[in-house]
Amino acid sequence: MPVASSCAEVFTFFGVEFPAMEDSSWLTSSDTIGYIKYPLKFDILFYLSSGGSVDSISYSPERMSSFVRSLDKALKRIKFYSAKFSDTLIPFILPGELIFETTKGSRAVKLLLPFEEQNCDRINHLAEKALRLNGFVLPNIKRFPSYFCSFKGESKNENYPFAIFQIWLDSAGAVTDWQQIYTGRPDLSSLISNALLYADYEPASCKGRAFASTFYVVFRFFRNIDYPTAVWPPSSEPIPISPFDYYRIGQMVLLDSVVNPPYPLNVPGGIFRDLVPIPFHDTLNVYVTIDTSGRIDSLRSFPMIPGKKAKALESALKKIRFTSAINISGLKVPFAGELSVVVNDSKKIRISVEWLPEEAQIQRE
């Protein structure tokens, strides 16, 4: 029942020592990887015993699940270092992503987990997901007061300033300290720093027991929302509001290199309208890469669609404009992500941006 990891930087957060695979070579020559012409991703959950063995697994989406079922035995025989909490071995629900790819005729499958022991790699969104699945409430803003920002000139959101703050809370949710990590506009971030102490916060907790913690907040200064702002998070009643009112504040317990992922600028209400009908009915997962100007550079859909249908869909989706992805240094960077797309033999396409919170996609048309 191994517990200690050989990695010099064992990932411990909120008192949890995250499980990692004992051996990254989990596939054998007898395991069969299905052939596919496009990337296919599954969300997977490992239900681990306190000894690190896999009791069971679950995965989504169910469509094309034969790819995962073909590797069911391989996944269940993976051995993990045990998870620990407060120096006690614990059962653990471990989320991951299973990605099938075929490159130049060679089949491959990648298993991404919150922590990869061999290279000491950490995937933050999976780590946060793991904490929630295992009974943790992450520190968060319950109520942020109204604030005012003054802008001159253009009123578009393509190039918006932002600021990042780190906030420390005690077990009662009171601010014990804070620091500014980054700002593109000191005059705007100074207004936020004054408001930080008047916000209401929820402390981190595990199964009802609160404890001191720290987290990061990103403030995005969009030009086309109403200032002074409403209290955040805003209510959608009685009239749905702009998603930028939700998206103007972001929260995370682990800071990613990309702090501002792309946001669609011309998809009101989750609907994109093309000039001509898209001639088929289907629900698709579309994997896109977005360049630094906010345009879709390439895309692949699952399931695959042939010929004219594929060209019509690609033509439509490449008309969507996004804000640029911005990293922690304020620089524009390329971005890869997934869209959920519903086409219904009409000019309207329903778009869900999978890397954004659901609330940030609500907008009146």
Which H helix or E strand runs over 23? none
Q: What percent of the chain has pLDDT over 90?
A: 46
Q: What pLDDT is attached to residue 212?
A: 95
283, 246, 305, 229: which is closest to 62 by C-alpha?
283
Segment 41-46 mean pLDDT? 91
Of residues 188, 162, 352, the one with CA closest to residue 259: 162
What is the structure's pLDDT at 164?
A: 95
Asked if 54 and 21 count as a contact pair (C-beta separation under 8 A), the reply is no
Tokens coding 311: 């060209």
Evaluate if residue 38 carries a pLDDT over 80.
no
User: Residue 291 corresponds to which tokens in the numbers above?
Assistant: 């360049």
* pLDDT tens-place string over residues 75-133: 999 999 999 998 899 999 999 998 888 777 788 888 999 987 666 778 899 999 999 99
Residues 6+ apart with CB under 8 A from 228: 146, 147, 148
Q: Has residue 364 got a pLDDT over 60?
A: no
Q: Cβ neighbours of residue 342 under 8 Å, at least 6 residues apart?
A: 282, 283, 284, 349, 350
Q: How many CB atoms lie within 10 A of CB 49?
A: 16
Residue 75: helix, strand or coil by DSSP?
Answer: helix
Mean pLDDT, rounded, for 309-327: 91
- Backbone φ and ψ for 125, nearest 5 degrees, come out as -65, -30
What length is written for the chain?
Answer: 365
**What does DSSP say about strands 281-290 and 271-273: parallel, antiparallel, or unpaired?**
unpaired
**231 vs 31, higher pLDDT:** 231
Angstrom CA distances, 157 to 166, 221, 230, 246, 323, stand at 24, 9, 18, 14, 7
Name the phi and psi angles at 258, rounded to 5.
-95, 110
- pLDDT for 70: 84
Please write the tens of the pLDDT for every residue from 225-246: 888 998 999 875 555 567 788 8
**For residue 14, what are the contacts with CB-CB under 8 A and spacing of at least 6?**
131, 136, 204, 206, 211, 213, 253
**Tokens standing for 320?**
């969507």
Query: Is residue 260 within 8 Å of 252, Cβ to Cβ?
Result: no
The vertex-203 CA angle with 199 and 204, nearest 5°, equals: 145
- Which single residue is written with the structure tokens 């130049």? 104
State the DSSP H helix or E strand holding residue 355, giving kind and residue range, or none if neither: none
* Rounded Cα–Cα distance for residues 176 and 178 (Å): 7
Task: Quick: pLDDT tens for 118-174.
Answer: 667 788 999 999 999 999 999 999 999 999 888 765 556 667 899 999 999 999 999
pLDDT at residue number 205: 94
What percentage of the chain carries pLDDT values higher than 70? 90
